[in-house]
Amino acid sequence: MGLLSANPTAATGSKTLLMAYIFPFRAWRYNPSSVRLEDVVTQPYDKISPSMQEAYYQRSPFNLVRIILGKPEQSDAERGESVYTRAARDFSAWRKQGVLAQEKGPCIFAYAQRFKVPGTEMIKERRGFIALGKLHDYAEKVVFRHEQTLSKPKSDRLNLLKATHAHFGQIFMLYSDPARSVEKICMTAQALPMPRSPTSTACCTAYGRSAIRPLSAC
């Protein structure tokens, strides 16, 4: 995604491209004083196999899988329930119980993932940020899709959105920044950013180490 700019266009060679607008927001995040982060985070919903789903269920009653990829129950039809109604109920309950805590003010979140390249001993680090983005029609040529999506997954995620009024996964986007201006703002040039404030968090999983740090709205 492009950067937030006072000017709505940016020159690239002989082309003038429209910029995407991003915004800070008050995110709900797991409260590390209430849960162990390693017990509640998951892979993206479309990467979770049935065996992984079961393992996540057993790991914690507050594991995110219960919201993003809940199990259907035999009595759902007669009780008027579904994986989406349970997701909404859990999301509401976890907020009331303090399992999830909301940022006090709008933030953009610096995010880094450190992992070992499969089949090697090489350690890599992926850096980025999490923010809200203004919606654009593809015809406006501000945001470009990288793949053709399927109707069933889109319907599933839309049903979850309608039930919970929240997003539980990010849309992965790329932007051009040869000068690494964003990285200079979001994090230091050294190693993976570790928690530097009470609301900064980091955790290790079987897939590597992730860290997230809220940045004040700018």
Phi then psi for residue 17, to 5 deg, are -105, 140
The pLDDT tens digits of the residues spanning 83-141 come to 999 999 999 999 999 999 999 999 888 888 888 888 899 999 888 899 999 988 988 88
Of residues 172, 186, 38, 175, the one with CA closest to residue 110: 186
6 — pLDDT class (breaks 50, 70, 90): very low
Residue environment code for 185-216, b if the CB has 16+ CB neighbours within 10 A, otherwise e: ebbeeeebbeeeeebbbbbeeeeebbbbbbee
* 84 vs 185, more confident: 84
In whole angstroms, what separates CA 206 from the centre of its chain?
18
| pTM for this model (two decimals) | 0.80
Cβ–Cβ under 8 Å, residues 203 and 212: no
Mean per-residue pLDDT, 182-206: 59
